[in-house]
Structure 1
Amino acid sequence: MKILIVLFGLLAWISCQDEAPDINEQVYETDATWTNMLAADGCSWHFSITSKDSTISLLPDEASKAKIDKELGKNDTYYSFTKVRLKYSLTGAKSTVQCGWGATNTYDEIKVIDIKKQ
């Protein structure tokens, strides 16, 4: 009986442990454009990734903004396109960005792992 109690105790303890982060997190690397088209009734700062038949817009998480400013410099213009090589992973969250005419758009949020100006 004591063995069963110990066994169930161990199983309960194991099931209550926090799971380790996924070390196989999907990392993407692509050419992108750090874009701000607010002055042309587009959206404020976001990444645009163009493929053959579509354009994907992504927003950096708060922690990534300092990394972007460090690599690309602080930019206060309302119309800008900067080509970059971007390495990122999706956070699973959504974020909103200010767009023209008082509108907002919601895009997938990313964690910037590395960014280089082209």
Structure 2
Amino acid sequence: MKILIVVFGLLAWIGCHDESKDINLEIYEAEATWTNMLAVDGCSWHFSVASGDSTVSLLPDEASKVKIEKELGKSEDYYSFTKVRLKYSLTGAKATVPCGWGATGTFDEIKIVEIKKQ
């Protein structure tokens, strides 16, 4: 009887175990611009991606910043546009970035799979 209780307990524990998965496993590929327009009252470092008739702004997660620095170097300029080829997935989170006049921008956060300077 004790074995049966232990087995059912393990099954219940496995069934209720919460696994954290990426919200969006789909990987997107796009031409993007690694942009900093803070000096002209725009927003600090973010990706600008053309989407139809508009432009979408995206922010890298902390782990992705290492990949960006490895491919593009340190982000020290206060006004910059660097064209890149980007493979990424959405994390499902939002991130903020400083913008001009003390404002902040809130954009979708991404996990970079691959980045190449053009």
TM-score by shorter chain over 0.5:
yes
SS across alignment from 1:14 = helix
Tell me the residue number matched to 2:85: 85
Aligned match of 1:56: 56
Q: Could you state the TM-score of these two structures normalised by the residue count of structure 1?
A: 0.86
Q: Who is 1:27 aligned against?
A: 27
Question: By how many angstroms is 1:25 displaced?
Answer: 1.3
Distance 2:20 2:101 in 1: 44
Specify the code of the residue in structure 1 equivalent to 2:69. Answer: D
Total equivalences in the alignment: 117
Q: Could you state the TM-score of these two structures normalised by the residue count of structure 2?
A: 0.86
Measured in 2, the distance between the counterparts of 1:80 and 1:41 equals 13
SS of 2:81's partner is strand
| 2:82 partner SS | strand
- Residue 101 (structure 2) pairs with residue 106 (structure 1): no
- Partner residue of 1:116? 116
Aligned partner of residue 14 in structure 2, secondary structure: helix
Distance in 1 (CA, whole Å) between partners of 2:76 and 2:5 is: 64
Query: Unmatched 5+ residue regions in structure 1?
Result: none
Aligned-residue offset at 1:66: 1.1
